Structure 1
């Protein structure tokens, strides 16, 4: 019998979105960034997401790479950082974000148990290809689905529709995993089985759907999917 597909958000779920700023801050000559990398990384991520939601509402779509650059520009200005070389370095590192430590073992366990595995992400195809290659997990994924195929960001329902189109499954026959509370709640409302990777111990978003599982990292996903 075919096992249920396990579908993962990418940024913040499989890949550590703070890794770019953290790594750059440790490099020689980056003392100014070292003093402020944590709030900069947080602001970068917040603006990146806000811009996806606003563009989805207005219909003014741009790919995730553009949104990522726009979010960084806002965050750098807020924190008084303007060096073009720093901007270029942060963006280069974002193309090769580290996966969270448990990711390879977790994906191998799912594949060994017969579960198809996929990414469903706001990321543009080029960004996702770079991240997957950098993390060395390409052979563990059956599909990498980008919103660029439908031209609107999550949580638009047409994005979640991509999973059924790819795997021929009803929503209730898919385990959807995200670290974004809004994403997992919207996925639950769509009908997915869901797991929220709540690494920071955040409150649940006040949205119609509720996750079936709340976990601190991805270690338990093979057991949840079984």
Structure 2
């Protein structure tokens, strides 16, 4: 029988919150081209790592807007910086939770788990999106990488989060729908559970997560059996 993690850390975007409204907005400004939508998100992740690796910090929303301008420009679409930020930042702050999320979090809360959000979004955006999604009552703390100045999956982020909650890395579990995120957590000596949302895969070169299910409720059903 596996032991319960002392703290469950949750990625927010796509793991808890449905990105469909954001994707709809981005797809519209990219002239409805689906392949550009996925390219935009990949570019966003790439340049968040570039910023962190260079010892710089810009908010996730700022990088998302810049990535949108880059992808648009490469496809002869003009988007101003102001419009790009308006689209990305506003949409990121008003995302609905996936259908099973509220019941799943409520179960964990009633079972006595400590729940913490850990996101690449800045502090203000994190608080706003959790409140707008109606999830604030489930969390014991909301942690933004803004305090570290580096994005996940840099090891410093996971180390900072475990120290912030006063627990050892091995007592932490990340629950996320991104292969790069659970890989970073595992390499930082955390435990991890992967939610295989559509289009998401684990990184084959990373250690395997101990839980791999296609929605949060199924992850919770396993966690509540831990002692």
TM range (shorter): 0.7 to 0.9
Provide the C-alpha distance between the structure 2 equivalents of 1:196 and 1:79, rounded to a whole number of angstroms: 34
1:71 aligns with 2:73: no
Number of aligned residues: 219
CA 1:216–1:76 in structure 2 vs 1: closer, same or farther (change >3 Å)? same
Q: Using a 3 Å threshold, how does the CA distance of structure 1 residues 202 and 145 change in structure 2: closer, same or farther? A: closer
TM-score, scaled relative to structure 2: 0.85
Cα distance between partner residues in 1 of 2:26 and 2:67: 17
Unmatched segments (≥5 aa) in structure 2: none
More off after superposition, 68-77 vs 114-123: 68-77
- Cα deviation code 1:112-168 (max 9, x no counterpart): 111111111111111112211110101111111111111111112221013322322
Three-state SS of the structure 1 residue aligned to 2:129 is helix
Map of 1:6 onto structure 2: 8
Moved over 4 A (4+): 83-86
**Match for residue 167 of structure 1?**
165
Could you list the runs of 5+ residues in structure 1 that have no partner in the other structure? none
Q: Tell me the TM-score normalized by structure 1.
A: 0.85
Change (3 A) 1:94 1:202: closer
Match among 113, 122, 125 for residue 124 of structure 1: 122
Q: Which is further off, 13-22 or 145-154?
A: 13-22
The reply on whether 1:39 has 2:35 as its aligned counterpart is yes
> Conserved in 1, the CA contact under 8 Å of 2:104 and 2:217?
yes
State the Cα RMSD in Å.
2.4
Q: How far, CA to CA, are the matches of 1:50 and 1:59 in structure 2?
A: 15
Q: Which residue of 1 aligns with 2:91?
A: 93
